[in-house]
Amino acid sequence: MATRTQPEQQAPPVQRLRVRYAKRGRARFTSHRDFGRAFERALRRAGVPMAYSSGFSPHPRIAYANASPTGAASEAEYLEIGLSATCDPAKVRDALDAALPPGLDVVEVVPATPGALADLLTGSLWALDLAGVPEPVLDAAVARFLAADEVQVQRMTKNGLRHFDARAAVVTLVPAAGEEPVGPPAVGSRRLLVTLEHTVPAVRPDDVLAALVALAPEAAPTAPAVLTRLRQGVLDRGTGLVVEP
């Protein structure tokens, strides 16, 4: 029997960079898989010297973490890349941003810190823009939700229909009171800000909306809600603040 030749071992990365990117406009409907393909094409077009994994099918060293749901916009998505040569992070940012499609925007590239990226992403701040819900109705629904010890919701996953508590992951839920980086909500819409702890199973902003409507059906928006992740990082559960990694 012929002995299978062992694949060549790849050198470890000489530099790791953390990339913060945004999904804006129609690009919010880009799935995580579609973004991954677009990002790998952008790396090639930008000439970024990627390090590769070892094995029979080497892959560029890209570490993704906690991608937003398809259909949600975001100002704070993160990934890390391993390079085979040292590069200026600012130049990598400019080259990648130019190579990606409109709406998939590279906001920042910085040297990665030691440790796993996922360990630094323990919470997110989301904006929920809800159309056609009167302010008193929305305020009452929020108060009912916050007063509850548990609010069960269900969502179809790749493993089937799953039931879980949406209340436990919500650290804060308040009406928006000031300027946000995504601009004001559309006319006739009201914006809620929700801070979510990253739990298992993950509670998403649309789960929170489903819980609100389950408690107060009159709070159902008259059009699909616009969901935007404003910030993602280390969550302080005591203050409700999310600090960028």
pLDDT digits (tens, 9 = 90+) for 141-159: 999 999 999 999 998 877 7
Q: What is the pLDDT of residue 157?
A: 77
Per the CB < 8 A criterion, the answer to whether 40 and 62 are in contact is yes
pLDDT at residue 3, rounded to an integer:
59
pLDDT in tens, 6-47: 677 778 899 999 999 999 999 999 999 999 999 999 999 999
Do 135 and 99 share a domain, yes or no? no
Per the listing, tokens 């030749």 go with 5
CB 142 within 8 A of CB 173: yes
Q: What's at 54, amino acid-wise?
A: S
Last residue of a domain, one of 86, 119, 152: 119
Q: Look at the chain and report how many structural domains it folds into.
A: 2
Q: Which two tokens stand for residue 217?
A: 């059906």
How many other CB atoms are there within 10 angstroms of residue 72's CB atom? Answer: 20
Same domain as 125, residue 109: no
Question: Could you list the residue range(s) of the whole structural domain that residue 75 is in?
Answer: 15-119
Same domain, yes or no: 163 and 138: yes
Is residue 42 domain-shared with residue 56, that is, in the same domain? yes
Q: Are 39 and 100 in contact (CB under 8 A)?
A: yes
Q: Give the CATH number of the domain where residue 39 resides.
A: 3.30.70.580
Whether 131 is in a domain gets the answer yes
Picking from 91, 119, 147, the residue at the C-terminal end of a domain is: 119
| Positions of E strands within 11-96 | 15-23, 62-65, 73-83
Domain boundary, last residue among 90, 119, 148: 119
In a domain, 1, yes or no: no
pLDDT tens for each residue of the chain, 245 residues long: 555 676 777 788 999 999 999 999 999 999 999 999 999 999 999 999 999 988 888 889 999 988 899 999 999 999 999 999 999 999 999 999 999 999 999 999 999 999 899 899 999 999 999 999 999 999 999 999 999 999 999 988 777 888 899 999 999 999 998 656 788 888 889 999 999 999 988 999 999 999 999 999 999 999 999 999 999 999 999 999 999 98
The reply to whether 167 falls in a domain is: yes
Mean pLDDT of the chain: 93
Q: Which CATH number is 159's domain given?
A: 3.30.70
- What is the pLDDT at residue 4? 63
The reported pTM is: 0.92
Looking at the fold, whether 104 and 187 belong to one and the same domain comes out as: no
Exposure on the CB side of residue 205, measured as CA atoms within 13 A = 30
